[in-house]
Structure 1
């Protein structure tokens, strides 16, 4: 089987989570770097990674990597890569770029040179001087970091956070990939109750339901590489069939989403229906200060308002103090809170068991994790002799 080198791009702080997902798909040749996870696998990994990765931003096909400090170097080394192995004669191939701490700092110039080099490479194979670019999309990226150029082709299209279920969102949306990461980092299990008291448009409860029933996040969307002639249609069909075979639709879940806004709850219910998990989530209008439950050993996972985002700092600090008082009554629960407030623990009145630095969009945040007690093991019944 043809081997390919793929890069799953990741939000800063989530690289290890993405790597764990890649390994869970059965791929072992995994390398973790800032903002990306690189792995080598068969061509079937392109559809499988796109369909299954919950926390990656997108999946890129790596064409080559080399040092380049001059435009001549960039041109010649790009031209030498096997572009015709992937780009058909009618391919559409725009070039985007970025440059960080590199001699070649002009991104527009780098993009133009890479475009010219790819054209020159294709001319050799297809024996023509002009390419109309009316066929499948192969978006090329040239990324320069400390004078090392990495050339990739995007296999995803719209970012992987676009699952297809969220037509309408709230004022401060949480990306689906971040919501999934919060759940995976909590190590929540489907047999435990999960609550989000700031559910907004429902992203955390919906992602939890998808995880709980092992529903592939990309099951109901399309990817740009599905139109590539290089990947047999049978490979895509097999990958999609696998998502249906592995889904656990009969897994019962207890997931609760609450919010104070009736309108946004209507949006949440609509989004859950689009995702096919509306029967697994109970949405309810409730202020966080009124949260009560008799359930034991649950998980409370939330993305509450930040002062810089949805209100002033004094209001948010008071909200966090109220959260601390309310949550203290849930003494057998575990709490997971994403916020940019570095004084959160002080307001909440409790030191986190663990915290992790992340980025929610371009906002630096911490993921505060408060571990509750483990539920008691079921008693072992010894039969009479």
Structure 2
């Protein structure tokens, strides 16, 4: 089996979580800003796409080199073994980005990489005219950072956050990858109650259910690399069989989502149904100040409004205060809140046990963590 250089890309702040997931799949990895690098065969490509909950996408690294001139970019790109990946009829658009590099014109870099790959393939396949480009799709990216060019092929297609269950969404939906991270950063385990009192379109409760039953997040979608001849169909069959074998559909779950907006509750119910959790997750319309429970040792994880829009600030501060009062008696529950509001602890009325910096899209946020009492061990 050929081993490839693989990269799982990650949102800032989630690199350690992605690396933990990659290692759990059995691959050693190295962590850098926004990317986790590891080696793996064709099966690793399929398994990574199916299983990684917090990664943005899987890429195959074709080469990395210093390039300060267009000639250098062309020659070094041309010297890479593109024929090992791209068939004679491959369709291969080139995307690009450049940060702090002498070659700052992205469109020129894209054109040069495209030309170099065409030259390499023409020579290998002994073609004189145009390449047809009517076969399998390969998205090549040239990413320049401080004069180092990284050339990759995207093995995911749509971003890994697109699980395939989102029938509808609200105005500012939380990415599924971040929602999964919020659940994984808690102390929740499937036998405990789980509540999201600001569930919106239901993303956090649905991701909790996927985690709780060990269902691969990519089980219900397709990937661009499924059309490549060198990732054979039987590899995908093997990877998908593994997801079925490891799923624990009998695991009982106690997951609830609530929201002040009845339209969002309806969307959340539809999304849960699409994900296969129509009967497993309870959704209801409710304000956070009305939340009560007699259950113990549960977990609350949520992404409430941040109050960043004009005119919302006072209402959001009041909501944080109400939330603090409603949840203050839940001393056995652990509470996790994602917000960009730097005064959250003041309004909530309690200092967090721990804070973790995360990005919700381009918004810098903190994940405030309040750890509840642990159950007493029976001697």
What stretches of structure 2 of length at least 5 have no aligned partner?
none
CA offset digits 1:250-298 (Å, max 9, x no partner) = 0000001011111111111111111011222111111100000001011
Question: Secondary structure of the residue that 2:248 maps to in structure 1?
Answer: coil
Question: Secondary structure of the residue that 2:279 maps to in structure 1?
Answer: helix
C-alpha separation between the residues in 2 aligned to 1:106 and 1:235? 39
TM-score w.r.t. the length of structure 2 is 0.98
Q: How does 1:114-125 map to 2 (within 5 A)?
A: 114-125=113-124
**Alignment match, 1:61:** 60
**Alignment match, 1:290:** 290
**Alignment match, 1:192:** 192
Q: How does 1:220-235 map to 2 (within 5 A)?
A: 220-235=220-235
**Alignment match, 2:331:** 331
C-alpha separation between the residues in 1 aligned to 2:346 and 2:71? 56
Offset at residue 321 of structure 1 (A)? 1.2
Question: Secondary structure of the residue that 2:39 maps to in structure 1?
Answer: strand
CA offset digits 1:28-74 (Å, max 9, x no partner) = 2x010101111111221111000000000000011010111111111
Q: How does 1:43-192 map to 2 (within 5 A)?
A: 43-128=42-127, 129-192=129-192
CA offset digits 1:277-335 (Å, max 9, x no partner) = 12221111111000000010110000000111596211111111111111112111111
Q: How does 1:362-381 map to 2 (within 5 A)?
A: 362-377=362-377, 379-380=378-379
RMSD over equivalenced CA pairs, Å: 1.0
C-alpha separation between the residues in 2 aligned to 1:206 and 1:311? 31
Equivalent residues of 1:305, 1:311 under 8 A apart: no
C-alpha separation between the residues in 1 aligned to 2:122 and 2:41? 28
C-alpha separation between the residues in 2 aligned to 1:277 and 1:375? 29
Equivalent residues of 2:187, 2:299 under 8 A apart: no
**Alignment match, 2:301:** 301
Equivalent residues of 1:172, 1:310 under 8 A apart: no
Paired residues in the alignment total 378
Offset at residue 187 of structure 1 (A)? 3.1
Q: How does 1:305-324 map to 2 (within 5 A)?
A: 305-309=305-309, 312-324=312-324
